[in-house]
Structure 1
């Protein structure tokens, strides 16, 4: 039997949506990025997604994005894939970022649906095609309508899957029916961007995850996939369930995942630093709750 892209995903299975470390003064912390990337890969991440939502892409400059790719590539070499977030609300700007990411050493692109302007589906399709045509890198579509205001509709994804460089989806649409429709009709590799769906996505034919919570617990999230791949579905379910309290605090507590991830990494003595405005740091009560949930999770 010929292996499908679901069996050999383009960027690995266990990916972390890595935070972008800053110094206490708010500057890009490339040494911290190298240290964090090294830890994530040594703890089981197949790939790192840089300058995504968790990486504070709206508030980092184009030059900072390129510098981050170069620094992380230097740290991890060829031990992990690097997927660069390049999506913006402007097709032309997105193309520019894609070309710069390619020059900086990225292995792939993460492209979010254009936000704010709410383009119709024919314009969404044209946007992705133009970016895929411009660069030689494989591209993952990032479907997160709760932030962008616009879906990449399943029928649009099915058409875009015909493009040779559009190979994957980061799925934050909370539409498992639509996801299964695309999985059944394409060879797109599906990565859940919702940490509570790690096992569910893999079980319906997805290939893995792009996780925010993995910034703090990469090994524990990798264990969910490893158990499933070993045929221990019940064990994988137990591991997923144990992660729920931490996932809920980090992703559903009213604070953005960037804020909670940086707060928890700071508690753990790992590179993180402050968030950039308009985001604000987590308060003491939230930090204490995150610490307690993390300690319980890794002890279980």
Structure 2
């Protein structure tokens, strides 16, 4: 069962525009040193659509080696690069809007041939396809579907119904950073959270022992980090702390404004 906090790593870039693999390795180790249950390689936060195939392979290799050395878990956002991974993070097919019967058929087919368990990435404001609790419950009964990253932009009725009646060994991980606290209160077992690049230990503590006051503080920080498209503000803050060589992102993203980064840096000051 998947539980705890998973950090979906950014992809740091050098001033030359190349991937700063050494910085990536240090970020991975830093997150695990602070108690993260594992890493996510090639999640949305890592800008995978802008990476070359060779860059994607190297990102996964580094994350695999680091998690192996710590004895922690690795979730990979690419079904073609799952060697050594715990699970694969797979979105509902975007733009197609196949309906829930189509989604069930799609995931059952993937689950029948995947080498590792699947984590469904339920993010309807990106994919255009909402799923009910009943659909997620049915998918969760498949032995090769381990859980869902729940990122609907709300704590909605389907989340309440799903968490109230989960299939055995099926995990619900919070996927919207600002909603970690209420999702944990309802029974989520952890989260896949870009904000956990920062104050990772606090997110880990929150997942281990729900604390309303800490939840409010972390939600406020997450809101600041998502004031502009992810991961631009996070990269700006990591760069300001000297953890990555540049705050750069690849098009179509552009770096966060100095104002947004400054507001995030002021959190907790």
Q: TM-score, normalised by structure 1?
A: 0.83
Shift of 1:47: 0.9
Q: Equivalent residue of 1:49, what SS?
A: strand
Structure 1 residue 272: Cα displacement: 6.2
Instruction: Give the structure 2 partner of residue 199 of structure 1.
Output: 181
Is 17-26 or 45-54 further displaced after alignment?
17-26
Query: Relative to structure 1, is the Cα distance of residues 272 and 107 closer, same or farther in structure 2, using a 3 angstrom cutoff?
Result: farther
Shift of 1:226: 3.0
Q: Which moved more, 1:42-51 or 1:173-182?
A: 173-182
* Aligned: 1:240 with 2:240: no
Deviation at 1:42, TM superposition (A): 0.1
Q: 1:134, 1:24 → 2: CA distance?
A: 41
Q: Displacement, 1:240? A: 1.1
Question: 1:163-214: CA deviations, max 9, x gaps?
Answer: 1110100000124320232231423200001122222112211101111110
2:224 aligns to what?
249
1:219 aligns with 2:201: yes
For structure 2, list consecutive stretches of 5 or more residues without a partner in the other structure: none
**Secondary structure in 2 aligned to 1:169?**
strand
Are residue 84 (structure 1) and residue 64 (structure 2) matched? Answer: no
Q: Distance in 2 between matches of 1:163 and 1:245?
A: 36
Once the two structures are TM-superposed, the CA of residue 136 in structure 1 deviates from its matched residue by 2.1
Q: Please show how residues 30-49 of structure 1 align to structure 2 within 5 Å.
A: 30-49=21-40
Q: Deviations over 1:124-171 (max 9, x none)?
A: 122212222222211110000111111233222122122111010000
Q: Does 1:186 pair with 2:186? A: no
Question: Could you list the per-position Cα deviations for residues 24-68 of structure 1 after superposition, in whole angstroms to 9, with x for gaps in the alignment?
Answer: 222222211111000000011011111111111222233322221
Q: 1:245 deviation in Å?
A: 2.7
2:126 — aligned with what?
147
Secondary structure at the counterpart of residue 260 of structure 1: helix
2:234 pairs with 255, 261, 268, which one? 261
Q: How many residues align?
A: 264
For 1:264 and 1:249, locate their aligned partners in 2 and report how far apart those are by CA, in whole Å.
11
Counterpart position of 1:171? 150
For residues 63 and 151 of structure 1, the distance between their equivalents in structure 2, rounded to whole angstroms, comes to 33
For the pair 1:284 / 2:258, whether they are aligned, the reply is yes
CA deviations on 1:236-281 (whole Å, 9 max, x unpaired) are 1111112233111112x2x112111111111111126411100000
Structure 1 pair 245–62 and aligned structure 2 pair: CA distance change class (3 A): same
- Runs of 4+ in structure 1 off by over 4 angstroms are none
Q: TM-score when scaled to structure 2?
A: 0.92
User: Over the residues paired in the alignment, what is the CA RMSD in angstroms?
Assistant: 1.7
Measured at CA, do residues 271 and 80 of structure 1 come closer, stay the same or move farther in structure 2, by a change above 3 Å?
farther
Q: Secondary structure at the match of 2:85?
A: coil
Conserved 8 A contact 2:15-2:245: no
Work out whether residues 142 and 171 of structure 1, in 8 Å CA contact, stay in contact via their aligned partners in 2.
Answer: yes
Deviations 1:204-233 (A, max 9, x none): 1110111111012211211212333xxxxx
Q: 1:129 to 1:54 in 2, by over 3 A?
A: same
Q: After alignment, is 66-75 or 179-188 more displaced?
A: 179-188
